[in-house]
């Protein structure tokens, strides 16, 4: 077969960790790149489905595909994790979290993950737990091609779509993609009576666009965008039976990129929108969220003999209007930042400083500094320190049911150490981290279940990641130990909810020019859904048991043009749940499968 054999490349290249292209083997903070080859095993799934299996992540979801979710990275919740799509922030101005459960994998080229609080000094508030950057397809078009995809699976799951990529001799390119993803879904509620016995479906129409045009050898202009219009059915307590939510989510940006005598200047403007309307039998007219971020970025990058310098400025306006609190709200954030990056045969070093002026909470300066020493070309060790800052989202402050307008910003001191060994065939990294957090923003059970500040919290843990490729065999694992504790108040010494102490994954596979297969075992550890003594001193009913899930995936390259992808998830039909709220438990899917065919004309 002439089909290109899937492969793993060491080292991968990241932009997110340093704001300039850098080999992952030279970054200080833990960084992971999920490339298009790996994403091909997630056809028909969402970005959240990809993150569930990555090291350092935990999550909960209120049912099947498309239902409300939240994810956690190194003990920080999704409001503390900045999501960028092609460089533009996507976190909703109201809830503070990114609705990654609605964006399909088939519109995405790669995902980069920056772990830890160094993102706060690079990208600002909301990045104290880390940064997830999603790059849409079509930004590196190297040839003209057209492809179509069709797939089907369990729970009446169907996917169909098409994409086209074009490039001329001058390097200008255009990429267009459209797809439809739909499923009858599963019964979201595990307990709660016959009133909940129904399937809760999801459907989504998705579009993406990317175009670039070279005005001359020095100047490139372009635009990128992704749009998802979806509907999710859900059940949520006795007052929200047979409910559904209409969603409109989009991110777009335009940019000018200029190269002049080594100096790179990039000016970018973009907007992201998260619109949701909820309907149920008690709200026939619906309740709504309507949030928008408008952002302008200027970045300068200049390489020198002593390292690479970066600097720039950002302007951000956040707007939110919702039926859940009176009136609309907005705030503006003006920022300046600078950074330094050094990569030599012996040392790697990075430092960043950022100043943010928030119209609602005043000014804040964050910084990080870190370095690594290479004992040999294959072995290095390093350490870093970062300060973090997170402003409360508008939802946590003003929501009629759970908001608290007296919330204080969250701050933290964060430490990371690592040792790493890598070569052309493998990479293994052991990372330890420790965070002292003040005024951690979370639900406060002692304040009528409104949002509150945990005076002091501590998060510490270790992450071991190892990926190998030996001839045509691939194998590896990741393991996380995490201890996230409340150090103050009524729940002093308690494990903070939704943070499992143990989590891991082991995988093995085989790849050649005709097919590739992969099997994995995913372990999700025990965790609590509520803080404190709800349901008694033993927190009876809120402890979610561990689960071990077996997943299989395969690609068969029938010809250079035709590929068949198949997945089987939760092979042994393990019954488990990721969230329990006040006695209501939500289902996760049992054994499920999906198969798709992609045909490409080149």
pLDDT tier for residue 170 given thresholds of 50, 70 and 90: confident
Q: Tens digit of pLDDT for each residue in 309-356?
A: 999 999 999 888 777 666 678 889 999 999 999 999 999 999 999 999
The Cα–Cα gap between 566 and 536 comes to 46
Confidence of residue 392 (pLDDT cuts 50, 70, 90): confident
Predicted pLDDT at 355: 97
pLDDT band at 272 (very low <50, low <70, confident <90, very high): very high
Best CA proximity match to 97, nearest among 289, 314, 325, 329 = 289
List strands edge to edge, sheet with 130-136. Answer: 31-34, 108-115, 130-136, 81-85, 88-89
| 13-601 homologous superfamily | TonB-dependent receptor, beta-barrel domain (2.40.170.20)
Confidence of residue 6 (pLDDT cuts 50, 70, 90): very low
pLDDT, position 541: 46
Q: Identify which of 166, 201, 198 has the alpha carbon closest to the alpha carbon of residue 66.
A: 201
Question: Pseudo-torsion of CA 356, 358, 364, 367, nearest 10°?
Answer: -30
Helix, strand, coil percentages, rounded to 5, for the chain: 5, 60, 35
Q: Give the C-alpha separation, 432 to 116, whole Å.
A: 11
Secondary structure of 185-230 in HEC code, one letter for each residue: EECCECCCCHHHCCCEEEEEEEEEEEEEEECCCCEEEEEEEEEEEE
Q: To which residue do tokens 């008694």 refer?
A: 536
Asked if pLDDT for residue 212 goes beyond 90, the answer is: yes
Q: How far apart, in whole angstroms, are the C-alpha atoms of residue 164 and residue 44? A: 19
CA distances, 519 to each of 4, 36, 102, 508, 572 (Å) = 21, 18, 26, 6, 13
Q: What pLDDT score does 569 carry? A: 94
- Both tokens assigned to 298: 């200027």
pLDDT in tens, 216-261: 989 999 999 999 999 988 776 555 566 888 889 999 999 999 999 9
Average pLDDT over residues 576-584: 73
Is 16's pLDDT higher than 60?
yes
**What number is the average pLDDT over the span 66-79?**
85
Query: For residue 98, is pLDDT > 90?
Result: no
Whether the predicted pLDDT of 1 surpasses 50: no
Q: Mean pLDDT across the chain, nearest whole number?
A: 87
Q: pLDDT class for 4, splitting at 50, 70, 90?
A: very low
pLDDT of residue 539: 47
Predicted pLDDT at 176:
94
Nearest residue to 70 (alpha-carbon basis) of 99, 104, 112: 99
Would you state the pLDDT for residue 63? 80
What percent of the chain clears pLDDT 70, i.e. is strictly above it?
Answer: 89
Question: How far, in Å, are 248, 331, 404 from residue 291 at the CA level?
Answer: 11, 12, 19
Residue listed under structure tokens 């979801």: 61
Which residues share a beta bridge with 254? 223, 269
Report pLDDT for 277: 82
pLDDT at 96: 62
Structure tokens at 238: 């006795």
Residue 283, token pair as written in the block: 């709200």
Selection from 32, 27, 568, 592 nearest residue 349 by Cα: 27
Q: Give one DSSP letter per residue of 69-82, joined into a string.
A: EEEEETTEEGGGEE
Are the CB atoms for 131 and 120 separated by under 8 Å?
A: no
Residue 540 pLDDT class (50, 70, 90 cuts): very low
Query: What's the pLDDT band for 531 if we cut at 50, 70, 90?
Result: low
- pLDDT higher at 328 or 134: 134
pLDDT band, residue 538 (cuts 50/70/90): very low
Q: How many helices (H) and strands (E) does the chain have?
A: 4, 36
Residue 193 has pLDDT above 60, yes or no: no
User: Stretch 363-374: mean pLDDT, rounded?
Assistant: 96
Rg value, the chain, Cα: 23
Percentage of the chain beyond pLDDT 90 is: 57
pLDDT at 145: 93
Structure-model confidence comparison of residues 360 and 237, the more confident one: 360
Task: Look at residue 315 in the predicted model and tell me its pLDDT.
Answer: 97
The predicted model gives 394-412 an average pLDDT of 81
Q: How many other β-carbons are positioned within 10 Å of the β-carbon of residue 54?
A: 18
What mean pLDDT comes out for the span 427-443?
91
Q: Which residue has the tokens 């800052």?
A: 389
Mean pLDDT of 388-408: 81
Q: Which pLDDT value is given to residue 184?
A: 93
User: What pLDDT is recorded for position 205?
Assistant: 95
Measure the CA–CA gap between 491 and 507, rounded to whole angstroms. 38
Residue 470 pLDDT greater than 90, yes or no: yes
Find the mean pLDDT for residues 74-86.
Answer: 90
Q: Work out whether strand 145-153 and strand 592-601 pair parallel, antiparallel, or are unpaired.
A: antiparallel
| Distance, CA of 366 to CA of 371 (rounded, Å) | 18
Q: How far apart are CA 591 and CA 549, in angstroms?
A: 10
The domain segmentation of the chain, as residue ranges, is 13-601
CA distance 602 to 213: 21
Higher pLDDT, 267 or 396: 267
Nearest CA to 363 among 330, 338, 336, 396? 336
């Amino acid at each position: 077969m002439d089909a290109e054999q899937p492969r793993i490349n060491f080292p991968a290249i990241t932009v997110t960790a340093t704001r300039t292209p850098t080999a992952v083997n030279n970054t200080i903070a833990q960084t992971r790149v999920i490339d298009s080859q790996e994403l091909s095993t997630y056809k028909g799934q969402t970005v959240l489905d990809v993150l569930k299996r990555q090291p350092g992540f935990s999550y909960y979801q209120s049912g099947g595909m498309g239902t409300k979710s939240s994810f956690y990275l190194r003990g920080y919740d999704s409001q503390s994790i900045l999501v960028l799509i092609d460089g533009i922030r996507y976190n909703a101005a109201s809830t503070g979290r990114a609705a990654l459960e609605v964006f399909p994998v088939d519109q995405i080229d790669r995902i980069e993950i920056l772990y830890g609080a160094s993102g706060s000094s690079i990208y600002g508030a909301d990045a104290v737990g880390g940064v997830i950057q999603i790059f849409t397809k079509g930004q590196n078009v190297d040839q003209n091609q057209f492809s179509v995809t069709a797939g089907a699976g369990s729970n009446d799951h169907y996917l169909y779509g098409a994409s086209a990529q074009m490039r001329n001799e001058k390097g200008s390119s255009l990429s267009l993609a459209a797809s439809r993803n739909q499923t009858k879904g599963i019964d979201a509620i595990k307990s709660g009576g016959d009133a909940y016995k129904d399937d809760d479906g999801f459907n989504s129409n998705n579009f993406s666009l990317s175009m670039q045009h070279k005005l001359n050898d020095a100047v490139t202009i372009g635009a990128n965008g992704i749009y998802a219009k979806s509907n999710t059915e859900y059940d949520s307590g006795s007052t929200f039976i047979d409910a559904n939510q209409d969603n409109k989510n989009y991110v777009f940006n335009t940019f000018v990129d200029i190269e002049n005598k080594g100096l790179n200047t990039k000016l970018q403007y973009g907007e992201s929108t998260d619109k949701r309307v909820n309907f149920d039998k008690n709200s026939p007219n619906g309740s709504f969220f309507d949030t928008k971020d408008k952002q302008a970025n200027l970045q300068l990058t200049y390489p020198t003999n002593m390292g690479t310098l970066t600097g720039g400025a950002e302007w951000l306006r956040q707007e939110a209007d919702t039926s859940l609190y009176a009136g609309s709200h907005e705030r503006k954030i003006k920022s300046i930042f600078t950074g330094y990056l050094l990569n030599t045969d012996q040392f790697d070093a990075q430092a960043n400083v950022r100043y943010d002026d928030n119209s609602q909470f005043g000014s804040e300066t964050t910084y990080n500094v870190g370095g690594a020493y290479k004992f040999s070309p294959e072995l290095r060790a390093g350490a870093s320190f970062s300060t973090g800052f997170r402003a409360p989202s508008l939802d946590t402050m003003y929501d009629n049911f759970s908001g608290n307008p007296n919330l204080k910003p969250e701050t933290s001191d964060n430490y990371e150490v690592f040792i790493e060994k890598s070569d052309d065939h493998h990479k293994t990294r052991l990372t330890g981290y420790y965070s002292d957090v003040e005024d951690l923003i979370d639900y406060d059970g002692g304040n009528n279940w409104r949002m509150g500040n945990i005076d002091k919290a501590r998060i510490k843990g270790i992450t071991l990641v190892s990926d190998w490729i030996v001839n045509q065999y691939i194998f590896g694992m990741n393991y996380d130990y995490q201890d996230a504790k409340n150090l103050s108040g009524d729940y002093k010494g308690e494990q903070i909810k939704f943070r499992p102490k143990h989590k891991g994954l082991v995988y093995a596979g085989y790849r050649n020019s005709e097919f590739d297969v992969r099997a994995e075992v995913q372990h999700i550890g025990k965790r609590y859904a509520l803080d404190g003594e709800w349901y008694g001193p033993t927190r009876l009913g809120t402890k979610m048991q561990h689960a071990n899930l077996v997943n299989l995936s395969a690609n068969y390259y029938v010809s250079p043009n035709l590929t068949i992808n198949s997945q089987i998830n939760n092979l042994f039909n393990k019954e488990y749940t990721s969230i329990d709220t006040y006695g209501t438990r939500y289902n996760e899917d049992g054994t499920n499968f999906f198969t798709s065919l992609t045909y490409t004309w080149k």
